[in-house]
Amino acid sequence: MLQRSIGLILLFMLGLVLAAEPGQAGGYTLNIWNTQASAYNREVVGLMTWVLAFAALVFVGVTGALVYVTVKFRRTGRETSEPEQTHGNDRLEVIWTVIPTVIVLVIFGLTAQSMFKLDRPPAGAMVVEVRAWQFWWDFVYKETGVRTSSELILPVGRPVTFEITSGTREFPEVIHSFRITSMVGTVDAIPGVVTRLSVTPEKIGSYYGQCVELCGASHSNMRFRVKVVSQEDFDRWIAGAAAYQAVAPTDPALVRGEGLFRQQCAACHTIRGVSEGTINNPDLTFFGNRTTVGSGMWPNRPEYLEPWIKNSPGMKPGVKMPAFPNLSDDDVKAIAAYMMSHRVDGLDFSKLEKY
């Protein structure tokens, strides 16, 4: 009976391992075993391999011993008296204390080594300030002061240090946690504290970021993108973004969109040259370059953008943007088109390979 149960449990666990597929999210692999994106992940994957190897060793040792004892000392029906009873075994006890201690010490040593290596800020790193809010992310390039929400553009091959925090004194927040799954992670975003995370992105592509600390109703909807592009594309992006000046539209639909934006949205949202929103709401200056809407949740297409403008709480529970039942479908279309008109021209981040 016992043997059959153990057999079944082992078979079930094997089934789980075989059935497990890498996570999928709109074509993203979300693969922490991705070793091409950064030295950071290679280091972590190396560490994970050691830990898993030890775990496998312990698993095989313990289950092996269990199976051996169960089979060897099972009741056969031929016993004539109670078998000899053993109390304590010094040699065995020393062995099963020393082996785990050695394993833990080795893992401790490897972990400390990796942590020292990864915590050292790389020379010449570009600094990006990251601010977490319920339920979206804000990014500011420290050198240029360029602010972009929900999607961050980075040059390939250049070290970057994220200085991460949550909310401000004026607008208090909860704890979030910053992670770019296939590239680097994870560091908490803590109110009133700056935590740091450094990485050198090594592969051009679009990376999937998400909050990994339960932070409220839409914790699971708190995502972002990191677009790793060539140095040349990055230079164009940052120069265009730093110099951005919104021009007054001439197209009547956009004129209408701008009027509605100023009335309904400008108190919260910044579009540089148009409105001075507040820090606790996303900057929408470069919305036309965005590939997503709703902080990394949906593709930036009219069929998602328009319902978002009209009724974001219906799409994202707990969102701190109101619904606008007063806006007609035409109003919404005009606003959406107006927002899409703000962009750094000549850059398309939608074709990047997804990791």
Residue 215's binding partner among ligand HEC, Cu ion, none (Cβ under 5 to 8 angstroms by kind) is Cu ion
Restricting to residues 278-337, name those near ligand HEC by CB under 6 A.
281-282, 284, 293-295, 308-309, 316, 319-322, 324, 335
Give the nearer residue to ligand HEC in terms of CB position, either 189 or 284: 284
Residues contacting residue 164 through CB under 8 Å, at least 6 positions apart = 130, 131, 132, 178, 187, 188, 189, 194, 195, 196, 197
Nearer to ligand HEC, 199 or 335 (CB): 335
Q: Which of the ranges 34-42, 155-163, 265-273, 345-353 carries the binding residues for ligand HEC, by CB under 6 A?
A: 265-273
Nearest residue (beta carbon) to ligand HEC: 265
Q: Residue 295 binds what, of Cu ion, ligand HEC, none (CB under 5 to 8 Å, by partner type)?
A: ligand HEC
Coil, helix or strand for 91?
Answer: helix
176: contact with Cu ion by CB under 5 A? yes
Query: Alpha-carbon distance 7 to 76, whole Å?
Result: 20
How far is it, in rounded angstroms, from Cα 76 to Cα 178? 58
Q: Residue 25 has what DSSP assignment?
A: B
C-alpha distances out from residue 78 to 4, 68, 233, Å: 22, 19, 81
167 binds ligand HEC (CB under 6 A): no
Choose which of 148, 150, 198, 291 interacts with ligand HEC (CB under 6 A).
150
Q: Cα-flanking dihedrals φ and ψ of residue 185, to 5°? A: 175, 165
Q: Hey, is 107 helix, strand or coil?
A: helix
Long-range contacts (CB closer than 8 Å, 24 or more residues apart) made by 170-173 = 170/279, 170/280, 171/133, 171/278, 171/279, 171/280, 173/132, 173/133, 173/134
Q: How big is the site for Cu ion, counted in residues (CB under 5 A)?
A: 4
Would you count residue 201 as binding ligand HEC (CB under 6 A)? no
Task: Using CB under 6 A, pick the residue from 28, 40, 135, 286 that binds ligand HEC.
Answer: 135
- Following CA atoms 137, 317, 323, 343 in sequence, which dihedral angle do they give, to the nearest 10 degrees? 30
Task: Tell me, by CB under 6 A, how many residues bind ligand HEC.
Answer: 24
Residue 338, token pair as written in the block: 């107006």
Question: In this chain, which stretch among 97-105, 153-161, 215-223, 334-342 interacts with Cu ion, using CB under 5 A?
Answer: 215-223
List of residues contacting ligand HEC (CB under 6 A)? 135-136, 149-150, 264-265, 267-269, 281-282, 284, 293-295, 308-309, 316, 319-322, 324, 335
* Residues lying near Cu ion in the complex (CB under 5 A): 176, 211, 215, 222
